[in-house]
Chains A and B, each alone.
Chain A
Amino acid sequence: MSRLGNLPIIKHIRQSVGLQCFMLITGLAIVVLFVLTAIFAPLIAPYGFSQIKDASGVSFGAQKEPSAEHIWGTTVGGLDVFSRVIWGAQTALISILVAVIASSILGILLGLVSGYFGGKVDRVLVVIADAIYSFPSLLLAILLAIMINSTGGNAFAGILAAGISITVVFVPQYFRVIRSEVLRIKSEAFVESAKAIHAPITRILFKHVLRNSTRTLPIVITMNAAEAILTLAALGFLGMGIEPSSASEWGYDLNRAVSDVTSNILWTSIFPGAAIVLVVIGVTLLGEGLNDLSDPRLRIRRKPKAFDGTLPDDGEVKHD
């Protein structure tokens, strides 16, 4: 970077420090909004997710344009779009929680044990994890959804099924991340010393190794959550997700909106679609921000002071 170019760039760097802040803050804000919407869905949504008649028993009517009663219109099935989108947040949140919690616990435990003890079990687990990891996750989720759905069940079982379908696909990701961290850490001096004083193995595993292996976990979790929403929506879009009568799901609503699009009806697809995009963007921004901060090559450091045009004594110009 030339000397002349240095001055205006500082301004940009300031801005981009702002950008990383902006990404983190925007991401966080969207995620908080999403969680609050999910929690308070019963209060926010004017109608139930499967409600097709108002209090006096009059049907909403199908494909009604947005109006005072239905601010985002109604679907082809005569459901209130706004209420469906709000309730959908709840479904999405539960599915994400199920998927992230279940797959992280399973993946972390397997990765920890496999990485620490090594041996044949480790080798077999690595090959299995790699095989599943390389496979298109949506297809595996479809197979799981088929089988779990065919056993039937209530509303919560449907959401749970979607969550479990996504879980299996994500276990290998946690496994790989944690295992490679464990491999790095297990030869560190503090683990050696814990072994030397005969600390219980569970203590070594959880206190010494695991606590120090969680560096990249927040990024994996955000990536995971984003993928969970997309997979859930994709399952719904293919009609393999949650039944519309048991919960509201954005992907299903989009599936029903495909034919609306050709007859120039916007509201049935735009709103659930935008909800998916918004939540994924929020989670991704959060993850990107964290990723940038944890990767020294990508981290942007604020310059201590503006370059005044004179070189420091050692004659060295600092490059970014």
Chain B
Amino acid sequence: MRERIGSSKFGQWVSEHSFLRFVVTRFLLIIPTLFILVSVVFFIMRLTGDPITATMGGKLPQTQIDKLIHDAGYDRPIFVQYFEYLGQLFSGDLGKSVKLNMPVTELILTYGTATVELAVLALIVAFAVGIPLGKLAAKYRDKWQDVTVRLFSIFCYAMPVFFLGLLLKLIFTVQLGLLPSSGRVSSNLQSQLSNVDFPTGFYVIDSLQTGDPEVIGDVFAHAILPAVALGLLTAATFIRLIRTNLISTLSTDYIFAARTRGVSEKRILNKHAFKPALIPIITVMGMQIALMLAGAVLTETTFEWKGLGYQLSELLKARDFMAVQGIVIFIAIVVSVANFIVDVLAAYIDPRVRYGK
């Protein structure tokens, strides 16, 4: 394969640039991945039943249901429907929400920003908690600090985000009365946010635009609990990864060499050993983004954070399954692209990845 590409001039150029070749091959891999996910979602939804029976089953007489099924074309051969569906997707049509009476693409544009904002804030929490604790555990390996941190990370992992969310609400809202229990901003300040010059939908950015400390404070107060609830789940993974990687890096020869040169332990931990220990974090980021999107559904539902995840659970309640399917497909696209970016970053940083497989 390599020789064949290498025979043309362009091929020669590409084969000399292993990184570029990696990017191109990895990009092309998105297509089968997406195709598989779309097919899996489609066949799960269709082979086990049709959306109309799932939504209306028991609510309408069977004859009416049959008519609806026929009108929507769900009684045609499954492969005809499948290719029709693929065609729709290809033209950017993710279906329509019956409950909200808008196309899924519009729904995603309206509510997606809230989810992205929550995910970014949660990621900040995850790094802020995960990195120092992971370092601490590796530094004091097998001592009480390490034991405490490890048990904490197991605890974070074992705690369902919605239960953690409920506990945080119970403590900080009901008992202490410090933070608001739900929503993204107090209703009386909502209008100020939409009146800024460049409304982005990201309330943190919009609130900074208003320059009003009351609005900024209110937006951040609303964001703290959801971000912590979602962030701690990811933090648990970061702690474990950083700890394990730091420990194995700390026992390598070059660290030993640094020690013999008299480099301080602090510098060894923070510079020499820490940087290579970060690479595995990047490689799991794709996985973490996927987990976070699933976590966002639960967190948003717990805190009534009106993002895509909250809408998804509302649509589930309303049995609007075509819209659910559209959102799930969209998330599949996000995850595939995120994984692509993560893999490219990893290959850029660590040349070994390019030659793997």
Contact pick for A273, options B143, B163, B331, B336, CB 8 Å: B163
Known: A16-B147, A237-B301. A277 touches B163 (CB 8 A): yes
- The docked-state distance in angstroms from the alpha carbon of A13 to that of B141 is 9
Q: Would you call B273 an interface residue if the criterion is a C-beta within 8 Å of the partner chain's C-beta atoms?
A: no
A128-B36, A147-B44, A254-B162 known; A139-B294 Cβ under 8 A? yes
How distant is the Cα of A297 from the Cα of B339 in the complex, in angstroms? 29
For A284, give the chain B residue with the smallest CB separation: B154
CB distance from A303 to the nearest CB of B (A): 12
When the two chains form their complex, are residues A148 and B143 in contact, meaning their CB atoms are under 8 A apart? no
* Chain B binder among A47-55, A101-109, A129-137: A129-137
Q: Report whether A261 and B160 are in contact in the complex, using a CB–CB cutoff of 8 Å.
A: no
Assuming A142-B316, A237-B160, A277-B159, is B142 touching A300 (CB within 8 A)? Answer: yes
Interface contact B297-A261, CB-CB below 8 Å: no
Interface 1/0 per residue, B109-153 and A, CB below 8 Å: 000000000000000000000000000000001111011001000
Q: Quick check: A288 and B154 within 8 Å, CB to CB?
A: yes
Q: Is A144 an interface residue (CB 8 A)?
A: yes
Given A131-B33, A139-B331, A151-B49 in contact, is the A261-B158 Cβ separation under 8 Å?
Answer: no
Q: Is A43 an interface residue (CB 8 A)?
A: no
In the bound assembly, the distance between CA atoms of A266 and B141 in angstroms comes to 37
Which residues in A have their C-beta under 8 angstroms from that of B63? none
Q: Which of the residues A13, A143, A150 comes within 8 Å of B328, measured between beta carbons?
A: A143
Q: Are the CB atoms of A130 and B33 closer together than 8 Å?
A: yes
The listed residue (B36, B170, B298, B324) touching A143 by CB distance below 8 A is: B324
Q: Does B23 contact A (CB under 8 A)?
A: no
Check A261/B287 contact, CB under 8 A, given A150-B53, A238-B316: no
The yes or no answer to A25 lying at the interface (CB within 8 A) is: no
Choose, from A82-90, A111-119, A226-234, the stretch at the interface: A226-234
Q: How far is the CB of A162 from chain B (nearest CB, A)?
A: 15
Whether a CB of chain B sits under 8 angstroms from the CB of A56 is: no
In the bound assembly, the distance between CA atoms of A6 and B140 in angstroms comes to 13
Interface contact A264-B174, CB-CB below 8 Å: yes
Does B324 lie within 8 Å of A135, measured CB to CB?
no
Question: What residues on B are CB-neighbors of A16 within 8 Å?
Answer: 142-143, 146-147
Nearest CB of A to B342, in Å: 10
One digit per residue, 1 when the CB lies within 8 angstroms of any chain A CB and 0 when it does not, for chain B 32-48 equals 11001100110011001
A146-B45, A254-B163, A285-B154 given; name 14 further pairs at CB < 8 Å: A12-B142, A127-B32, A131-B32, A136-B293, A139-B297, A142-B316, A150-B57, A230-B160, A234-B294, A257-B166, A261-B166, A273-B167, A284-B158, A297-B251
Using a CB–CB cutoff of 8 Å, the interface residues on chain B facing chain A are: 29, 32-33, 36-37, 40-41, 44-45, 48-49, 53-54, 57, 141-144, 146-147, 150, 154-155, 157-160, 162-163, 166-167, 169-170, 173-175, 181, 244, 247-248, 251, 286-287, 290-291, 293-294, 297-298, 301-302, 313, 316-317, 321, 324-325, 328, 331-332, 335-336, 339
28 contacts between A and B (CB under 8 A): A16-B147, A127-B32, A131-B36, A136-B294, A138-B298, A139-B293, A139-B294, A139-B297, A139-B331, A140-B44, A142-B328, A143-B41, A150-B48, A238-B316, A239-B317, A251-B160, A254-B163, A261-B170, A262-B181, A266-B170, A269-B170, A276-B163, A277-B155, A281-B154, A281-B158, A284-B157, A297-B248, A320-B141
What are the nearest 4 A-B pairs in CB distance? A147-B48, A136-B294, A280-B158, A16-B142
